[in-house]
Structure 1
Amino acid sequence: MPQHTRSRYVPLSLSLRPRRRSLGGLLGLSLLLASCGGPAGTPAPTTPTATTMQLNGTRVLSPTQVQFGVTPLNGTQTVSGTLSNPAVTFSTAGVSGAVSVCGQVTVQNTVTAAVTLDATGSMTTTDPDKKRRDAAKAFVARMTGGSQAAVLSFEASSTPSAGLLGSVLHQDLTSDQAALNTAIDGATYASGSTNFYDAVVDAVKVASRAGRPGPIVLALTDGLDNSSSNSPDDAIAAAKAAGVPVYAIGLDARNTINFAEMERIASETGGLFRSNVAAGDLDAYFSQLYNAFTAQGCLELKLAAAPAPGTTVAGTLSVDVTDYGKATSRLSVPFSYAVRDTIEPK
């Protein structure tokens, strides 16, 4: 037999013996780990994945289909995790339906937000203490890393900034918190009528023109649009074209204003809507929205039948939140929203 054939054969037979010892060693190691509480004897985790869940707002897709943005929290910190086993109970008589997971928790550490604040004359009544100023500054204070924000105000009596339709740009996108706070001070005045749709188009332009990933618009108003050159459909088209969701807050503590178009703008652009908000709630709600921008999942409610306009649909959403190495958390959060005379999405 040639020499090179023997040299190939001999190492092959020798290599089997160390492999047998290796398997035996692994078996012994496995038994040792099991006896010491290793993988075979590890107790179930007790640290919960999350302790509470916040509801960030609604997205009305149709009279029978509503989505809710939700964020799991550990104390005040946002957490990620897999959402499963959703359930809903209703406290509104005659309303029934089911809930499903429409999106897992998406984590984003960098925020890019154009914040546009209502500066119309009615703000002297609805927000006399300028709580929107404090809320916007608290939002800015939470910005970390590469996060950036811009500050705009809107009302129809002021000359808009160059390139904008109906808004004053007090500060373009920046991470400079001192500059942003100065801009917020300048944005919280009260004069003129409401040009909300123009303000949305302007804010979308500012949020998206730097080309940063995941820009959003955070828009606050206390009334219905009566001065814009743009329509709600124009605002929706601009936001969709730029890929910028609009998160809209209706300042209406008594829930007497029909924010149907504002709600539609938020819903159709992939943002969220929240009304029935008083000035004193703004600080907490701006903070909730910051949480939403950094870690948010989605639960979708499908009703058996469309409730009558004017109905307040209320109840409780529950869902499991699971993360590797932690105990599954069963979390619940109350919800309510007003059924409006909505215009069907186009």
Structure 2
Amino acid sequence: MSHPQPASSLPVRPSRRSALRSWGALLGLSALLASCASTGTPPAPTTPTATGMQLNGTRVLGPSQVQFGVTPLNGTQTATGTLSNPAVTFTTAGVSGTVSVCGQVSVQNTVTAAVTLDATGSMSSTDPDVKRRAAAKAFVARMTGDSQAAVLSFEASSAPSAGLIGSRLHQDLTSDQTALNRAIDNATYASGTTNFYDAVVDAVKVASRAGRPSPIVLALTDGIDNRSSHSPDDAIAAAKAAGVPVYAIGLDATGTLDFTQMERIASETGGLFRSNIAAGDLDAYFSQLYNAFTAQGCLELNLAAAPAPGTTVAGTLSVDVTDYGKATSRLSVPFSYAVRDTSGPN
């Protein structure tokens, strides 16, 4: 006679539902582990922070100390990011030194600019095709939002506008691009001699009197001042008192004019200077300056020894530009500037 086995010794066969439940749990755990593994190391960003860099001009602080305004770009658009790891290589024999970051990229969307244009008689030969007119209009065309500009001209043979020393105000600060373009047409004539220092004092007054934030002066001339009632020191003092940096452009395709005082006005007011500009370069450079006004950083060159006046110092500046979520960009831009004798008045 057979005896039944105790219940505890009988084999237990799992139900189909229980087996499916166990299998589902294993699949869920596997998916969770795979998800954790995939998110543990995010892929490195591939979009570059910037694709190029432009040099906006120089600011001379001393015989061996020069700053450069630089703007990172994505194509033709300004880019932002943190500047780091600067380096410099020189192509000028016997020159050596180091470079440092003297300012991160500062961004502003609103531009307030008093644009003052040389209308002296010599402009008929240095800018016979009135390229400055097209350049100024292209500058105006880039204005967006609450940006405003004013248009002045200067030459010593015409009576100045009311309240000004030596300039004609063709259009006060406005966002009206049609009015600004009409003013540029009226400002681009050729007559008289050069009163650049008076023109700077006037443009500073126009740029700052509306009380708008961060006003600047953009001044273009093709010659050395020979008629102003004010000195370079007067122009610098007026700009500093108003907090208005002067960006000065020397129209001089041959590089033979002595723009020492113009460079000094730009440098000591916190602006930038650029010369060796031909009329055909004005459109591109006015566009570069608009970029500079909206997004600009600073690189400072410190030379081991001061070069002799008349030396052209040239080379290449390089810097990393980094922005969150993008790949670091290593950017380079060539530079060149003339060393001027700043030991005494011009």
TM-score, normalised via structure 1 length: 0.90
Counterpart of 1:161 in structure 2 is: 161
Letter paired with 2:190: A
Q: Is 2:241 the partner of 1:241?
A: yes
Deviation at 1:343, TM superposition (A): 4.1
Q: Is the 8 A contact 1:108 1:293 kept in 2?
A: yes
Structure 2 counterpart SS, 1:41: coil
Partner residue of 2:115? Answer: 115
- 1:34 paired with 2:40, answer no
The alignment's C-alpha RMSD in Å is 1.6
For residue 271 of structure 1, report the CA deviation from its aligned partner.
0.2
Q: Give the Cα–Cα distance (whole angstroms) in 2 for the partners of residues 88 and 290 of structure 1.
A: 26
Say whether residues 1:325 and 2:325 are aligned partners: yes
Cα distance in 2, alignment partners of residues 30 and 255 from structure 1: 69
Question: Moved runs in structure 1, 4+ residues, more than 4 A?
Answer: 28-33
Alpha-carbon distance in 2 for matches of 1:333, 1:72: 10
CA shift for structure 1 position 342:
1.6
- Alpha-carbon displacement from aligned partner over 1:249-293 (angstroms, at most 9, x marks no partner): 000000000100000000000000000000000000000000000
How many Å apart are 1:29 and its aligned residue? 11
Q: Deviations over 1:326-346 (max 9, x none)?
A: 00000000000001112479x
Residue of structure 2 equivalent to 1:227? 227
Tell me how many residue pairs correspond in the alignment.
317
Matches within 5 A, 1:50-199: 50-199=50-199
- How far did 1:106 drift? 0.1
Aligned to 1:200: 200
Question: Aligned in 2, Cα 1:279/1:44: closer, same or farther, shift over 3 Å?
Answer: same
Paired residue secondary structure (2:340) = coil
**Rounded Cα–Cα distance in structure 2 between residues aligned with 1:248 and 1:152:** 14
Would the alpha carbon gap of residues 75 and 158 (structure 1) be closer, same or farther in structure 2, given more than 3 Å must change? same
Q: Distance in 1 between matches of 2:325 and 2:343?
A: 46
User: In 2, Cα distance between the equivalents of 1:234 and 1:61?
Assistant: 19
Given the superposition, is the C-alpha separation of residues 152 and 44 from structure 1 closer, same or farther in structure 2, using an over 3 Å criterion?
Answer: same
Q: Equivalent residue for 2:211?
A: 211
1:85 is aligned with what amino acid? N
Contact preservation (8 Å) 1:217, 1:244: yes
Structure 2 SS opposite 1:186? helix
Quick one: distance in 2 between partners of 1:79 and 1:295? Answer: 7
| 1:41 CA drift (Å) | 2.2
Q: 1:99 Cα deviation (Å)?
A: 0.1
CA positional deviation for 1:135: 0.1
CA 1:29–1:244: 2 relative to 1, 3 Å: farther
Q: Deviations over 1:204-253 (max 9, x none)?
A: 00000000000000000000000001000000000000000000000000
Secondary structure in 2 aligned to 1:283? helix
- Residue in 1 that maps onto 2:13: none
1:29/1:124 CA distance change after superposition, 3 Å: farther
Residue equivalent to 1:302 = 302
Q: 1:161 to 1:30 in 2, by over 3 A?
A: farther
Q: TM-score, normalised by structure 2?
A: 0.90
Q: CA deviation at 1:34?
A: 3.1
Give 1:324 shift.
Answer: 0.2
Amino acid at match of 1:48: P
Query: Which is greater in Rg?
Result: 2
Which SS does the other structure have where 2:264 is aligned? helix
Distance, in Å, in 2 between the alignment partners of 1:270 and 1:294 is 15
248 and 343 in structure 1: CA distance in 2 versus 1, 3 angstrom threshold: farther
Structure 1 runs not aligned, ≥5 long = 1-27
Decide whether aligned partners of structure 1 residues 30 and 79 sit closer, same or farther in structure 2, where only a CA change above 3 A counts.
farther
Q: Distance in 2 between matches of 1:236 and 1:112?
A: 19
**AA partner of residue 316 (structure 1):** T
How far apart, in 2, do the equivalents of 1:30 and 1:323 lie?
Answer: 32
Residue-by-residue CA offset, 1:183-223 (whole Å, 9 max, x unaligned):
00000000000000000000000000000000000000000
2:58 alignment partner, SS class: strand
